[in-house]
């Protein structure tokens, strides 16, 4: 009798474990179904994303995305940003992902982001202007030698080494603050405050 009870308990335990395993798999499958898969978009553009959105999302989700995109597009146009459609699409996807989990082609997004960085000549000119601004604190007599020294050091920087460096996206804010603070070292408090106010205004 005792052995029979033990066998019954083992059978019940095995049955409950099987049910638990099946439920877990079902929950995982349900969670996967809730993810809106946009990875088949052939281009990082509003039209390509919308084609996938209409196929994979329900009408309410599509409506929410359209509203988010419109809000972001209007904001980008108001602030006279370059390529407002691309900026609006990126921001809309980020905000939509907080409401409904989405899956996108990371390579496609990365390539689009690189394209948004701008022409290397323009970016180089912009960074050169920042470098000149920082070096303005040097004595004019020493400044030309410092610029020449900087040019030589930049030439020997390894592009491959920089490309392999990875930092979490959340570190971006701290890096921006550090960069801005270092750029403004040795300036007057009034000048620094005015620059900071203008940086804040131009971030919108």
Mean pLDDT by 10-residue block, N- to C-terminus, for the chain (204 residues)?
49 50 45 75 87 91 93 85 82 87 77 59 83 88 92 89 74 86 88 89 75
* Residue 98: per-residue pLDDT: 86
Tokens of 39: 């990875």
Which single residue is written with the structure tokens 């960074």? 127
Give yes or no for a contact between 44 and 52, defined as CB atoms under 8 angstroms apart: no
103 - beta bridge partners? 37
* Residue 151: per-residue pLDDT: 92
The three-class DSSP label of residue 139 is coil
Tokens of 44: 């990082």
Q: Where are the domains of the chain?
A: 36-116, 118-165, 166-204
> How many other CB atoms sit within 10 Å of the CB of residue 91?
17
* Residue 122: per-residue pLDDT: 74
> How many other CB atoms sit within 10 Å of the CB of residue 49?
22
Distance set, CA 35 to CA 43, 130, 131 (Å): 20, 43, 45
């Amino acid at each position: 009798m005792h052995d029979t009870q033990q066998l019954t308990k083992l059978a019940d335990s095995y049955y409950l474990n099987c049910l638990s395993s099946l439920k877990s798999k079902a929950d995982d499958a349900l969670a996967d179904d809730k993810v809106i898969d946009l990875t088949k978009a052939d281009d990082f553009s509003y039209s390509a994303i919308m084609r996938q959105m209409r196929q994979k999302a329900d009408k309410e989700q599509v409506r929410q995305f359209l509203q988010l995109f419109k809000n972001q597009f209007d904001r980008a146009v108001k602030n006279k940003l370059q390529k407002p459609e691309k900026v609006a699409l990126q921001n809309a996807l980020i905000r939509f992902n907080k409401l409904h989990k989405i899956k996108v082609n990371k390579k496609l997004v990365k390539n689009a982001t690189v394209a948004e960085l701008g022409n290397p000549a323009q970016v180089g000119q912009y960074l050169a202007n920042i470098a000149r601004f920082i070096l303005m604190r040097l004595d004019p007599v020493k400044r030309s030698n410092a610029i020449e020294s900087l040019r030589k050091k930049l030439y020997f920087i390894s592009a491959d080494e920089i490309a392999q460096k990875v930092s979490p996206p959340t570190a971006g804010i701290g890096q921006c603050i550090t960069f801005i603070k270092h750029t403004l070292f040795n300036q007057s408090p009034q000048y620094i405050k005015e620059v900071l106010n203008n940086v804040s205004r131009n971030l919108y």
